[in-house]
Structure 1
Amino acid sequence: MKQLLLAFFFFCYGNTIGQIVRISGAINGLSPKYIVLVGYNGVEEFPIDSAYVQLPNGFFQLNTAIPYSGLYKLLIEKGQNRSPDKYIDLILKPGDDISFITQYPHITDSLTITKGEELQYFTRFTKQYNQVQYKIFLLEDVLRKYPSNDPFMSEINKNLSRIQSEKKTIFQRYRDARFPLANRYIAMLRQWDARGSDFSKGFYQGIDISDTLWVHNVLLHQKIGQYYNYLMAENAAQDFKNMNKSFIDQILDPLKSNELLWKNIFQYLVNAYKTMNYPDALEYLKEKYLTDGVCADPSQSIDIDQILQSLNALKEGSYLPNAVLKAPDGSDQIFPKDVPSSKANLLILWSSGCSHCRESKPFWIDLYNRYKQNGLTISALHLESDVGLWKENIKTLPSDWIHLHDSKGWNGYAGVLKIFGTPAYVLYDTDKKLILKTYDIKEVEEKIKKLL
């Protein structure tokens, strides 16, 4: 299986297997579990090799061929289910052996590397940066929680300014020309750090996207996720279809000069929209980009039609499946079988902790008030496990709605409908046949207008 994963990686990215790298270490205090060396191909993490950690000193050794020079993770697995408990960031190059000792559970702070100068350099930077960043996080948290006119706040602001200056000094300190690979990763972090979370000037403002090392750095994907959430928060009109088109264009179009990164981010977006069940976005990716000169590459191995077919298993005109859900009085309700229906019936899937749901409530109520005289019915399905919180929150919604609760959450009726985000909308007719499944309330209203 390991060879198959590596073969797939090399086929897609055109690399050749480098020399064997020997990674040895002792993780003191770790019970006998596994360590796993993990790479990153720009879309997902993939395992390269693993080793058993020996007792009593937590010693292990890996002799493995690495597919690229760059950033890796060494996952330290603890527990019977072999789930990652800690990890170490490693910069690896073919032929560059690594040896280290660390004290579990304080892995990062206690990491001592005896080989691999570039890794030593990168680890020193990471340790100092994380320590300063943690202090900044604590001080900013205090500023958020306490009144700005509190006399104590002036002292907090002084300390915050001092530590932020200290962070700038750390970035300036780590510019050793002997370690170009580590410096490139540090530069990536420095760019985002200087940029912050202000996306008002565009996503890539101040970011050098020409470096192919972005392919092996999950930081870019984290920022893409932050940007998507930023756009969602800004999208008060709930026009998700056009928002997704704009988002895709802003992410992909500037990358065409970096072909390797473009292909990876394209596939990343396809996978993300598949997970979120956004067929409209997948259709847009297919129509605008799949035949593009940059993307027309068989090695991309993306069959959007197949993904869409899978997502659209519940198609327009098919009967909604029934599910046993809970009513506010605790009784069982078979939905949609036991629910009265008309020409237009809307199921809203929501949760109390969803900020977009809270922001959307006025739109839901306004929609209902304008169309209820024409026969619109609304059922609201709550997906969180906290029944008390659900009952408290439905007080803010019309009492003549059909309120339902699914204790299985995403693994219940939402999973059957292939809903992966909230708020989501399912419109069906008097025969309980699907008319529309979407995340866009405007699209719902357009359909309701035609039906009523």
Structure 2
Amino acid sequence: MLNKFSDANSSWVVIRRYEIIITAIILISNLQGQLLHGQFTGPFRAGTSLFLLELYGGQLRHVDTTNVESDGSFQFNETHYPLGAYHLATSPRVRVKLYLNPEEDEVHLRFKSTLAPEEMEVLTSRENQAAAEYTSLINEQFRNEWETMQKFATLPSNDKESIREVKRQLRELGRDRKSLLQKLRRDYGETFFGRITEMNSPMIGNDLELNKQEFFSSGFLASNEFVGSSVIPSKLVEYLSIYTDQSIGGFIDAVDEILFQAVGDEEVYGLSLDFLLVFFDRQGPDELFYYLLDEYLVDERLERYSSEHTKERIAVRRMVAPGALAQDFSLPDLNGNSVKLSEMVSKNDMSLLFFWRSGCPHCMETMPKLKAIYNDYRQTSFEIIAISLDEVERDWSRAIEENDIDWINISDLKGWDSEASEIYGVNQTPSFILINREMRIEKNSSELMEVLAFLEAWRNTPTR
């Protein structure tokens, strides 16, 4: 029996059938995932391994591996990659950046004979076509903005003329950036590459205090949307470089603010903490590394966001923290005689381990100051034990001779693979470690002035 609802019901059934079909098509498409493949058109060794690395906070994590076929083609087997930035690499130094977006079915690349950005042609993928066309333009734009902001931050407040000129430059850079980003959107529409580019844009307002107050208002630490990109590391470097006074207290205030802003998302918080540990491990001051370790890395759940490199550096840093027992080693001097650290240390109340290289400009600039300290303190039971990370004996001996160095000089000429360098986790020169007669570490720093401040306090201690 028909009624007035019969036609409507029939239409509803048809609509539901179409919805089911469309849903099935979407599901099948999602099952197929994203095809990542390409070829080398020039000479390229068959069987070469290609590694796909995922950018995760400040880390690069291995995702997938494939090999180049005899015809120069390659294809990755995995097809479901999270939205984010990636690196295609044959080695740690040979790689190109990619963007993988699940909304795209295919990323098809073509190279000539090497895996290099200038040889990469994007055949399929709007994300990567946009990146290929605009990355160099954006990098140049942001570099100009960054340099101008750094100049602005260091200008004395009474230099009115220079401040006016920098503000004029910032307004002009702002117009240039707006035009560039508008052109990117006009050419390629909404892309993940475009979103992270806008989020990565330096703050270029002409009021530094207002910039600092509004720095986190973009929300880059509010959710995990950008953990698969360079946004978090680059924005944190910007904040630490421009909006702190570079003092230990200033850095402490900065990391407190950063981690307060990230506290709403555990993943973002953990990755921000991991990046800050790596940053201060490499750049110093060392006090900030230990501050983060003692004040923030107190929850075991956060360790899941630390890279293996960070975990290794934490273990090494804890072994060379103030109060730790210094590990012993023996290295040859210029005459080939073995010098044992503990024997040298036991002869003086305080010894300074000085890690250096003849090819390190900052090390050579430090030499006259260090010699003055040595001459001033050597009569107070103080000795310097200089460990060269050179690899060529002549370079080492020439630097000692030219600088007229008469403290203890030792080296195994293994460079960064030196036994002492590995024991004490040295990853930059110059580096300084103060050790007392009982082989206890008193101070660990990359700054000579911090060493001098410690020595002055030590010499003036009545009970020394």
TM class by smaller structure: 0.5 to 0.7
Q: Which SS does the other structure have where 1:371 is aligned?
A: helix
1:221 matched to 2:242: no
Q: Report what 1:140 is aligned to.
A: none
Deviation at 1:367, TM superposition (A): 3.2
Relative to structure 1, is the Cα distance of residues 379 and 307 closer, same or farther in structure 2, using a 3 angstrom cutoff?
Answer: closer
Q: Does 1:301 align with 2:317?
A: no
What's 1:103 paired with?
A: 112
Match of 2:339 among 328, 334, 339: 334
Report the Cα offset of residue 266 of structure 1.
0.8
Aligned to 2:423: 416
Residues 420-450 of structure 1: CA deviation (Å, up to 9, x unaligned): 333333333446x234241141335434544
Match of 1:175 among 178, 181, 185: 185
Which of 31, 51, 54 is the aligned partner of 1:39?
54
- The structural deviation recorded for 1:97 is 1.9
Does 2:404 match 1:404? Answer: no
Contact 2:389/2:413 (CA < 8 Å) preserved in 1? yes
Matches within 5 A, 1:187-266: 187-189=198-200, 191-192=201-202, 208-210=218-220, 212-218=224-230, 220-221=232-233, 224=236, 242=249, 245-246=252-253, 248-249=255-256, 251-256=258-263, 260-266=267-273
Equivalent residue of 1:125, what SS?
helix
> Aligned residue for 2:65?
50
**Hey, what's the Cα distance between the residues in 1 that align with 2:214 and 2:415?**
36
TM-score (norm 2): 0.66
Give the letter aligned to residue 123 of structure 1.
A
Which range moves more in the overlay, 58-67 or 280-289? 280-289
For 2:69 and 2:84, the matched residues in 1 are separated by 27
Cα distance, 1:188–1:226 mapped onto 2, change above 3 Å: closer
Structure 1 unaligned segments of length 5 or more: list them.
1-16, 137-161
Taking a change above 3 Å as real, the CA distance of residues 225 and 19 of structure 1, as seen in their structure-2 partners, is farther
Change (3 A) 1:438 1:68: same
For the Cα contact (< 8 Å) 1:18–1:94, is it kept in 2?
no
Secondary structure of 1:418's aligned partner = coil
Letter in structure 1 aligned against 2:112: Q
Equivalence map 1:270-349=2 (5 Å): 270-271=277-278, 280-290=287-297, 298=301, 300-301=303-304, 311-313=317-319, 316=323, 318=325, 320-327=327-334, 330-336=335-341, 339=344, 341-349=347-355
Asked whether 1:186 is paired with 2:179, we answer no
- CA deviation profile, 1:353-406 (whole Å, cap 9, x unmatched): 445535544553443343333222222222223444444544675644223344
Indicate conservation of the 8 Å contact 1:36/1:47, yes or no.
yes
- Name the structure 2 match of 1:93: 102
Q: Secondary structure at the match of 1:192?
A: coil
1:350 aligns to 2:353 (yes or no): no
Equivalent position SS for 2:65: strand
* SS at 1:124 equivalent: helix
Give the TM-score, by structure 1 length: 0.68
Q: Deviations over 1:94-115 (max 9, x none)?
A: 5622223332337534544343
Alpha-carbon distance in structure 1 between the residues aligned to 2:389 and 2:210: 33
Aligned match for 1:61, one of 64, 75, 85: 75
Residues matched between the structures, number? 391
Unaligned runs of 5+ in 2: 1-29, 145-171
Q: 2:40 corresponds to which residue? A: 27
Q: 1:363 to 1:200 in 2, by over 3 A?
A: farther
Q: Could you tell me how far 1:338 is from its partner in structure 2?
A: 6.3
> Superposition pairs for residues 383-398 of structure 1, below 5 Å?
383-394=389-400
Structure 1 CA distance, aligned partners of 2:36 and 2:329? 54
- Secondary structure of 2:45's partner? coil
Q: Which residue of 1 aligns with 2:7?
A: none
1:372 paired residue number: 378
Q: Cα deviation per residue 1:295-340 (whole Å; 9 max; x = unaligned)?
A: x68365379999766544468474651312333xx44341336648
CA separation of 1:388 and 1:101: change in aligned 2, threshold 3 A:
same
The whole-number CA distance in structure 2 between the counterparts of 1:286 and 1:337 is: 28
CA contact (8 A) 2:385 2:408 kept: yes
State how far apart, in whole Å, the 1-side matches of 2:191 and 2:332 are. Answer: 58
Counterpart residue identity of residue 409, structure 1 = G
Moved more, 366-375 or 406-415: 366-375
Whether the aligned pair in 1 keeps the contact of 2:50 and 2:68 (CA below 8 Å) is yes
Question: Could you tell me how far apart the structure 1 residues matched to 2:388 and 2:283 are?
Answer: 18
**Per-residue CA distance 1:133-168 (angstroms, 9 max, x = gap):** 8x99xxxxxxxxxxxxxxxxxxxxxxxxx9999887
Distance 1:223 1:355 in 2: 29
Tell me the CA shift for residue 243 of structure 1.
6.5
Partner Cα separation in structure 2 for residue 208 and residue 271 of structure 1: 24
CA RMSD of aligned residues (A): 4.7
Taking the aligned partners of 1:398 and 1:229, their CA distance within structure 2 comes to 37
Q: Is 1:434 paired with 2:440?
A: yes
- The CA distance in 2 between the partners of 1:104 and 1:129, in whole Å, is 27
